[in-house]
Amino acid sequence: MEKFIKTLSEDERVRFLFVGCLNTAVGIGVTFIVYLLFGYPLFEGAEIPPVVKFAATLSGQIVGAVHSFIWNKFFTFKARGNAGKEFLKFIVVCFVQYAANYLLTLLFSSFIPFAWLYTVLVTAICTVISYFGHKFFSFKGNDEKENEK
């Protein structure tokens, strides 16, 4: 555990993946909470109306994006720039990453017969896109070496 904490504190890439795991839990959690608030059980196979699905997934995405921004700004990249400008850039990277996710899913699903396999591949590719997009665009010039000066 001590080694993990040391790696987490020293390696920006590990912090990014850690925040991604937290963000996934938060986004899914919010989505599930909205389903429950609308009265739809999670484990009974109930037919959920499209408007509820939309509200749940949109809520999860919005809360997840805000959560991700805060953690990535202050923990992952330790950015000290203008939060408003960084947030707008962050959202641009999120849209690019989501578009890449969708397009790659369409592409890979056309020749990979296993949903789990193309989902894992697309997730890995989009994680890399997201990391470099945030590192070199959203929080550009905010790396740890510059912050230490």
Which residue range(s) make up the domain with 90? 81-149
8 shares its domain with 70:
yes
The predicted pLDDT at position 144 comes to: 46
8 shares its domain with 72:
yes
94 shares its domain with 125:
yes
Q: How many domains does the chain have?
A: 2
Tens-digit pLDDT profile for residues 59-84: 999 999 999 999 999 999 999 999 99
- Which of these three, 76, 103, 118, is where a domain ends? 76
Cα 149 from chain centroid? 30
51 shares its domain with 92:
no
132 shares its domain with 113:
yes
69 shares its domain with 94:
no
Look up residue 123 and give its two tokens: 């997730």
61 shares its domain with 120:
no
Across the range 92-98, mean pLDDT stands at: 95
Q: Where are the alpha helices (DSSP H) in 38-139?
A: 50-71, 83-109, 115-133
Tens-digit pLDDT profile for residues 19-51: 999 999 999 999 999 999 999 988 888 888 999
16 shares its domain with 63:
yes
135 shares its domain with 113:
yes
Tens-digit pLDDT profile for residues 106-147: 999 999 999 999 999 999 999 999 999 999 999 996 544 444
Percent of the chain predicted with pLDDT > 90: 81
28 shares its domain with 61:
yes
**105 falls in which pLDDT band (50, 70, 90)?**
very high
pTM: 0.84
19 shares its domain with 2:
yes
68 shares its domain with 87:
no
Widest CA span in the chain: 56
The predicted pLDDT at position 9 comes to: 81
Tens-digit pLDDT profile for residues 11-25: 999 999 999 999 999
For residue 142, the one-letter residue type is N
Closest by CA to 96, choosing from 69, 66, 131, 70, is 131
- Residue 76 is classified by DSSP as I
Sign of CA pseudo-dihedral 104, 109, 115, 121: negative
- Which of these three, 76, 98, 124, is where a domain ends? 76
- Tell me the average pLDDT of the chain: 90
